[in-house]
Amino acid sequence: MTVTLTRRPGLDKLRSASARSPLHALCLGVVALVVLAALFAPWLAPYDPNEADLGDALAGTGGDHLLGADTAGRDTLSRLLVGARASLLGPLGVVVFSTVVGVAVGMAAAWRGGRLDSVLSRSTELVFAFPGLLLAILIISVYGEGLLAPVIALAVAYLPYVSRLTRSLVLAERMRPYVSAYQVQGHAPLSICVRHILPNIAPVVLAQATINFGYALMDLAGLSFLGLGVPPLTPDWGRMVFDGQTAIQHGYPLSAVLPCVLIVLTVVAFNVVGEHWADRVARRTP
């Protein structure tokens, strides 16, 4: 007798044809534009982002500088385009590290249970006691400024959220008949988790990762504004807001306002896309 094992569709949920809301389509377009601008920034930027020309300091829009120049005469448009790379690369590192480690920790805790579950759960609760920004500031004070230290700190701070989500999802999946069927057939626990459970929980985890990306971008931009993120000469949206404070006092707000607008739009766009995916998965999950 042949037994056919069925399982719920995983990533196919995100590929099904369904009407998208106009807001979701708009935010998805914003995400695509920002990512493309970051990828092709060296070819799109009209000037070297660090090229200073005091003769063009606080230049207005139009002319040689489409979006004006900052107090050092650096082209604002070039710095926005090149700064998108550092502004997106940091959150990407936070999301990748926290998601990969968080999924592994949550899956191990849910599958093994018992003492391992208690130890891992208590460890993640301990991390919850430390605010992410405070942890980042402490690590930066030890290892100095740069992108690596705040990325590691925020990844550790975001890890418990992914771990708890994964644990709850895996606990629910373990109760489904297909898992018992694979166990009866002699499949190894690691094989069941990686090949069957993980694809089913992937849509929810990816939706949460998308939302975390927006929050990580905002946190890293705040650290750069405080002078604790990227080095001073590295173009970064948060650093541009910090550098543009003097320009605002002289009546030239664009060099500080434009990166603020980009930060807000990008964070909102990623959050809307992530929440839309999460809602679609929730509606399709029995």
Residue 46: pLDDT above 60? yes
Q: What is the pLDDT of residue 16?
A: 44
Predicted pLDDT at 283 = 65
Q: 195-247, pLDDT tens digit by residue?
A: 888 888 888 888 889 889 988 998 888 888 887 777 777 888 888 888 888 77
- Give the Cβ contact number of residue 33 at 10 Å: 14
**pLDDT for 9:** 45
Kindly report, residue by residue over 76-95, the tens digit of the pLDDT.
Answer: 888 899 889 888 999 999 99
pTM score, whole prediction: 0.82
* Mean pLDDT, range 156-162, rounded to an integer: 88
- Find the mean pLDDT for residues 177-185: 81
H-run or E-run covering 175: none
How far is Cα 65 from Cα 61, in angstroms, rounded to an integer? 6
% the chain with pLDDT above 70: 87
Query: In this predicted structure, what is the pLDDT of residue 263?
Result: 92
Q: Is the pLDDT of residue 5 over 60?
A: no
DSSP 8-state class, residue 270: H
Q: Which helix (H) or strand (E) holds 49?
A: none
pLDDT, position 11: 41
Compute CA distances 276 → 24, 103, 164, 200, whole Å: 7, 21, 21, 18
Q: Which residues of 64-90 are buried (b: 16+ CB within 10 A; e: fewer)?
A: ebebbbbbbbbbbbbbbbbbbbbbbbb
